[in-house]
A = this chain, B = another copy of it.
Amino acid sequence: MDVSIIAVGTELLFGQTVNTNATYISNQLNHMGFNVMYHHVVGDNPVRLKELVKASLNEMDMVICTGGLGPTQDDLTKEIVAEAMGVDLYFDEKCYAEIKSYFDERHRSMAENNRKQAYMPVGAEIFHNEAGTAPAFGLEKDGKCAICLPGPPREMKWLFKHCVVDYLKRFSSKEMYYKVIRTIGIGESDLETKLMPVINNQSDPTIATYAKEGECALRVASQRDTAEMAKYAVDEMIEMIDGLIGEYIYSYDDDELNQVVVHQLQRRRLWLSSAESCTGGMFASCITDVAGASSVFAEGFVTYSVEAKSEILGIDTAVIDKFSVVSGEVAVLMADGARRKSKSDISVSITGYAGPEADEGRENGNAFIGYSCGGKLGNKRGFIELNTKRNDRKWNRNYFKLRMLLTVYNILNEKL
């Protein structure tokens, strides 16, 4: 089935927003066996949008639009798609009630123009949006299908996952199954080289690698006549992959590293704490992002200044002067201090230069992760030095945070 994805929004043509929606949808469709033939971006201009939708419906089996479902005057995607498909709009009471209750629940008054969002094409299957106010829909007519989704990626993804995936199943005779494996500590091209024996000459299951900052994910997908056959093919492939790169895998179920770490701590009833300098709270924030983190994480310290390191974590300033504040010795003492203060089982710390300007004679991307374990984990202390050789503050901070997570993961899994 041939598909065009049309993103509607002048902000995309101004270059203010990247069209990540098309990438997300393409990725999903691909794994479900649809052929994405084009992405188009067009502004909030009724004439050009109408022309593009009509031409695309003419040439393709399916058109998926994102954006232009909002309450304002220039949001016209729904109206234009309905017209192109030759159907009228009607006022949907249920949609209206949902939009109204969305505002009521937030104790906000609904603007009059939000009423517009409750008009729906006759015959459409409505996708009720729990992530925002714009209801979305799929509409089939004369062998063509049009799907309209809101532009904000969070809403679009929510709807895709909860409504569109099921809706699309009617177009496919095959059943699809996939798993996402997550790895850390190996680059994408090294990963591909190691996987060559299973990637080559492989048409189903398909294996795709995705590099994320500092991490790499593998998606293994199969389409077979039954769900069981697809699952069997995927599981068999994952066993082969495990034999080749098992040491780099931290999740077989697309879990984030912070989730994996929190769940392992929960299972073992261990308490974690942190002392952060250059990451400034990113590690704590990432641990507490996991629901239920309160059973493993009681407190964290952001000790940005030298004074904070000495006063809050009790590090002797003479030691800081001797080794310098960015050193393995200070990192370990930071971890010790945080563990003592919080009476936790594991503490992890960081001190380093994220950029853009390191101290004289030092390099951006140079940092030390300290760790200190006690209680059930026995006494274990040490540090790891990092050197990213990058000046990019955002990139460095994120990488440092990931490596702190990996340090805890390695301690828990006796790899450190």
Measuring CB to CB, which residues of chain A are less than 8 angstroms from any residue of chain B?
A: 7, 10-20, 22-30, 36-43, 48, 52, 70-72, 105-108, 111, 113-114, 131, 152, 154, 187-190, 192-193, 208-211, 213, 219, 221, 274, 276, 278-285, 287-289, 291, 293-294, 297-305, 307-308, 312, 341-342, 355-357, 387-389, 392-395, 397
In the complex, the answer to whether B280 meets A302 with C-beta atoms within 8 Å is no
Q: Give CA–CA (A107, B187) in the complex, Å.
A: 13
Q: How far is A12 from B298 in the complex, measured between Cα atoms in Å?
A: 39
Which residues of chain B are within 8 angstroms of A14 by Cβ–Cβ distance? 26-27, 30, 36, 208, 219, 221
Centre residue among A13, A289, A297 by max chain B CB count within 10 A: A13
Chain B residue numbers with a CB within 8 Å of A36 are: 13-15
A87 to B20, CA, bound (A): 36
Q: Closest approach, in angstroms, between the C-beta of A315 and any C-beta of chain B?
A: 13
B22 adjacent to A26 (CB under 8 Å): no
Given contacts A19-B19, A19-B22, 17 further A-B contacts (CB under 8 A): A12-B39, A13-B26, A16-B208, A38-B41, A38-B42, A38-B52, A39-B39, A71-B189, A280-B289, A281-B300, A288-B302, A288-B304, A291-B393, A298-B305, A299-B303, A299-B312, A312-B341
> Within the assembled complex, what's the spacing in Å between the Cα atoms of A25 and B12?
11
Question: Min CB distance, A56 to chain B, in Å?
Answer: 11
Q: How far is the CA of A23 from the CA of B16 in the complex (A)?
A: 7
Inter-chain contact A299/B298, CB cutoff 8 Å: no
User: Could you say how many copies of this chain the assembly holds?
Assistant: 2
With contacts A280-B289, A282-B285, A304-B294 taken as known, whether A30 is within 8 angstroms of B15 at the C-beta atoms is yes
Interchain residue pairs A-B with the least CB separation, the first 3: A280-B288, A15-B27, A281-B281
Say which residue of B25, B38, B276, B395 sits within 8 Å of A40 (CB atoms): B38
User: A283: which B residues are within 8 A, CB to CB?
Assistant: 281
22 residue pairs of the A-B complex, CB under 8 angstroms, read A11-B208, A11-B219, A12-B39, A13-B26, A14-B26, A15-B30, A16-B27, A16-B208, A19-B39, A37-B43, A40-B40, A70-B188, A108-B187, A111-B189, A274-B302, A280-B287, A281-B283, A281-B285, A281-B302, A289-B393, A298-B307, A299-B304
- Verify A297–B289 contact, CB threshold 8 A: no
Residue numbers in B under 8 Å from A43 (CB-CB): 37
Task: Give every chain B residue within 8 A of A301 (Cβ-Cβ).
Answer: 299-302
Chain B residue at smallest Cβ distance from A300: B302
Among A15, A289, A312, the most chain B Cβ lie within 10 Å of the Cβ of A15
Chain B residue with Cβ nearest A394: B289
User: What's the Cα separation between A274 and B43 when bound, in Å?
Assistant: 43
Name the distance in Å between A50's Cβ and chain B's nearest Cβ. Answer: 14
Q: Is the CB of B19 within 8 A of A23?
A: yes
**Residues of B contacting A393 with CB < 8 Å?**
289, 291
Q: A132: nearest residue on chain B (CB-CB)?
A: B211
